[in-house]
Structure 1
């Protein structure tokens, strides 16, 4: 008999502030014992139980999805983010920031050659995100008043299933529990420190405001997800597609990213490894997030994010 496919979620019932883990199958939510990280960590014993539970679920089992509030599906201790990991995205950025008088096609060709060399000989670029920036896939995004340069970056994220320390690329996918979707919101004007150019990027201020990591709605086990290097990442802004790219365009695939990240620090069950943003963010289009915008994000097999943006209302003089 074929396996019954399902996803994991975290949710709250109406009137109950307690967050619970749940199995989502056939539009029904089956509450589970234990928190999400415990389920992930002990997957060797919980997998069979959840497979059986999903196979036995009926149309009246558990709770209706419409009757619960779906939360972010993960609670990571560590969030590792990957920069400049889509070939087309990097080439577009290089062309957009070329020096006056430089030929665009020449810049694109030179950057493409550099990225191909990097894919064969280089290593990924990582930085650290804060778990406190994680929000649900439907929570309103408050655009901080200290800037008008907030941007979107929809990304595939790998969720670690067991402690991974100095694993090889060939081993790495065995340490991935599953996959979820993250929109890595970025305040563009804060990415580089103008007052300290020698230091370079300031990822803390640029990426870690409340709600800047909308995550989920689903956590799909790897065995149901298929090849992470062959899914579509699409973000629509007010109904118009802005990002629409295959993960085939990654410079470093998920296996390489997990392996390289594990060389420095052990990755723990439930940790997130974001895989970078495809081409088509707001900086590319010259159109950044505004009050009233609606972002609809989809990645093949991972459900849909629907994020409404609103300007922050603050007292005068607020500034981080």
Structure 2
């Protein structure tokens, strides 16, 4: 049976409001036609990004995470501008401060699976990581004292949930998304593969859970701006050298398929974050791991550049 979304729309020809039924696919298309907002959490508050300027918005004292978790992200479209600042006048912070669930999807690009000598599974590989790993778009990436010799980058597109999702269909999935941002799924490979003497075997969760291992940002592009979330250019650079250069079109499981699959097992809540996988070119394939002093950049089309310096714990 076709599922419907009930909405009230204004009928200007008759000067009244009428109730209509839309399929979830139609509702998603309607959202696509609304106003796109590229927004950042800054030291001055929630700000809309217009070129190189930051328009600080009046959103009732909430931060961006607060808007997401309260279901009021739509206020961004009509919010009053209280100040316009230059990039040198603000510090950009993580758009998602303390997500409820941090969900990691592994091996979702064929070239990445091939470079590490494995195949993509028939269903998504999903891991949960402590949200305490989240850091900002300019924060340092620490090299942990106990696992600093094989720290690797993974440039990814992250999807932020904007409405609760439980057992939703693929067609419904995008209507539960608030927006997208860039992410670096930093991973301690020796912990992941079990070669670290301090772990009893391979441990994906711990390998990705160190403080500062999940930089997000620099902005959130609301769903209205995601004309095609499956065709965005994604690049990772280390000290200016391109290491990964791909498109989200190369994902094996689409955003909608991932949300639908995950929501069969757990309810996704507002502010939850899903990292959708990384393309080929990671350091483990060549043995080129991150070193203190290097700068890692993750570029996601439409969102901007996530730029983080690598530092030993003694440098933090």
TM-score scaled to structure 1, two decimals? 0.79
Aligned residues: 276
Shift of 1:194: 5.6
The structure with the greater share of residues assigned to helix is: 1
In structure 2, relative to structure 1, the CA distance for the partners of 1:308 and 1:61 (3 Å cut) is: same
Question: Which of 77, 82, 89 is 1:51 aligned to?
Answer: 77
Question: Which of 29, 49, 52 is 1:24 aligned to?
Answer: 49
Question: Which of 116, 120, 123 is 1:93 aligned to?
Answer: 116
Contact 1:6–1:25 (CA<8 Å) still a contact in 2? no
Aligned-partner Cα distance in 1 for 2:128–2:34: 36
1:284-295 residue pairs with structure 2 within 5 A? 284-295=285-296
Structure 1: any 5+ residue segments left out of the alignment? 14-19, 95-110, 315-320
**Counterpart for residue 266 of structure 2:** 265
**Counterpart for residue 88 of structure 2:** 66
Task: Provide the aligned C-alpha RMSD in A.
Answer: 2.3
Aligned-partner Cα distance in 2 for 1:21–1:219: 11
Shift of 1:41: 4.7
Aligned-partner Cα distance in 1 for 2:243–2:153: 10
Aligned-partner Cα distance in 2 for 1:144–1:79: 20
Aligned-partner Cα distance in 1 for 2:257–2:143: 34
Contact 1:161–1:269 (CA<8 Å) still a contact in 2? yes
1:128 partnered with 2:156: no
**Counterpart for residue 138 of structure 2:** 138
Contact 2:190–2:196 (CA<8 Å) still a contact in 1? no
Aligned-partner Cα distance in 1 for 2:46–2:124: 33
Shift of 1:184: 0.5
Q: Secondary structure at the match of 1:127?
A: strand
Partner deviation per Cα, 1:31-56 (whole Å, 9 max, x = no partner): 3322323423555x652x43234xx7
1:1-320 residue pairs with structure 2 within 5 A? 5-13=36-44, 20-26=45-51, 27-31=53-57, 32-33=59-60, 34-41=62-69, 47=74, 49-53=75-79, 61-75=83-97, 76-94=99-117, 115=120, 118=121, 122-146=122-146, 147-193=148-194, 201-313=202-314
Contact 1:181–1:299 (CA<8 Å) still a contact in 2? yes
Partner deviation per Cα, 1:280-301 (whole Å, 9 max, x = no partner): 0101122000011111210101
Q: Secondary structure at the match of 1:163?
A: coil
Aligned-partner Cα distance in 1 for 2:286–2:234: 17
Q: Secondary structure at the match of 2:91?
A: strand
Contact 2:218–2:303 (CA<8 Å) still a contact in 1? yes
Aligned-partner Cα distance in 1 for 2:196–2:135: 31
Shift of 1:5: 4.2
Shift of 1:142: 1.7
Aligned-partner Cα distance in 2 for 1:194–1:286: 14
Shift of 1:138: 0.8
Shift of 1:30: 1.2
Aligned-partner Cα distance in 2 for 1:46–1:194: 44
Could you tell which deviates more after superposition, 266-275 or 60-69?
60-69
TM-score scaled to structure 2, two decimals? 0.80
Contact 2:36–2:222 (CA<8 Å) still a contact in 1? no
Aligned-partner Cα distance in 2 for 1:190–1:222: 35
Shift of 1:155: 0.5
**Counterpart for residue 4 of structure 2:** none
